[in-house]
Amino acid sequence: MDADEPLDPTPLPALDRRVAGCRACPRLVEWREEVARTKRAAFADWTYWGRPVPGFGPPDARLLIVGLAPAAHGGNRTGRMFTGDRSGDVLYQALYDVGLASQPTSVSADDGLALHSVRITSPVHCAPPANKPTPRERDTCRPWLVQELRLLRPTLRAAVVLGAFGWQAALPAFTEAGWTVPRPRPAFAHGARVPLDGLDLFGCFHVSQRNTFTGRLTPEMLREVLRTAATAAGLG
Ligand code: SF4
């Protein structure tokens, strides 16, 4: 950080900046930077972000969406969660449809998109090879999610977790951040709803192409979970 740069006025942007500088996982650092160097032909004129992708959305969000990890040519290219890939196309369209996003598309970090009391994050902040972080990488990244949850805790009332990986990673983070998670930990399922103290946790199939192309997750299924979660969060 440049000494002349003004300090961030709130803790969450400061956390985001620290996340973006993290190099704790050697395999992921190497992969994200190699992808940023070699690029995909369609994005040859882009300067890839090539760093950890921090959460996106306001610091007083009432609803949190938890994914898995950035895509190599999506978030790792644009620097914003779910931005610039097919999964994001599905997610942001649904958020717009239910009134939680200002526009239905998310193509670059400076495209003007704003989320309405919603924040999007992931338990692993660097793009992993084959979209598969190791358990060790997931555990190494967890403190970032715990810190983010602690900062959001005063306003956060609902969370939608996309997919079983995110579910398994997020539940211990919610515990560490101060919520009471039932034991044994509830299993992931699409449509699962688990009341924690003061927060409702929802399970939803991930917006991956594998799920959306096959119809396992339809736009209406996604909108339904988001609508229910938004209501639980006191939105809409
Ligand atoms: S995955 Fe998380 S802990 Fe690992 S380098 Fe990226 S930001 Fe750091």
Per-residue pLDDT of 62-102, as tens digits, reads 999 999 999 999 999 999 999 999 999 999 999 999 999 99
Quick one: pLDDT at residue 9?
Answer: 53
Residue listed under structure tokens 């996003």: 101
List helix spans (H) across the chain: 11-20, 26-38, 75-78, 86-97, 135-152, 164-176, 209-213, 219-232
Residue 221 has pLDDT above 80, yes or no: yes
Assess if residue 136 is contained within a domain.
yes
Assess if residue 211 is contained within a domain.
yes
Assess if residue 86 is contained within a domain.
yes
pLDDT digits (tens, 9 = 90+) for 182-216: 999 999 999 999 999 999 999 999 999 999 999 99
Assess if residue 31 is contained within a domain.
yes
CA contacts within 13 A on the Cβ side of 190: 12
Q: Considering only CA atoms, which residue is closest to atom 3 of ligand 1? A: 141
Residue 105 has pLDDT above 60, yes or no: yes
Within 8 A by CB and 6+ apart from 128, the residues are 27, 28, 31, 69, 134, 137
Residue listed under structure tokens 């956390």: 15
The DSSP annotation for 37-52 comes to HH--GGGTTS----S-
Q: How far is the CA of 180 from the centre of ligand 1 (A)?
A: 26
Assess if residue 1 is contained within a domain.
no
The tally of domains found in the chain comes to 1
Assess if residue 3 is contained within a domain.
no
Asked if residue 184 has a cis previous peptide bond (ω within 30° of 0), the answer is yes
Q: Cβ(36)–Cβ(71) under 8 Å?
A: no
Q: How far is the CA of 171 from the centre of ligand 1 (A)?
A: 18
Looking at every residue in the chain, the average pLDDT score rounds to 95
Assess if residue 186 is contained within a domain.
yes
Q: Considering only CA atoms, which residue is closest to atom 6 of ligand 1? A: 126
Phi, psi of 184 (to 5 degrees): -65, 155
Q: List the beta bridge partners of residue 159.
A: 64, 201
| Cα 231 from Cα 236, distance rounded (Å) | 6
Q: How far is the CA of 24 from the centre of ligand 1 (A)?
A: 5
Assess if residue 219 is contained within a domain.
yes
Domain that holds residue 193: 11-232
The one-character DSSP state at 7 is P
pTM over 0.85: yes
Question: What CATH number should be reported for the domain holding residue 27?
Answer: 3.40.470.10
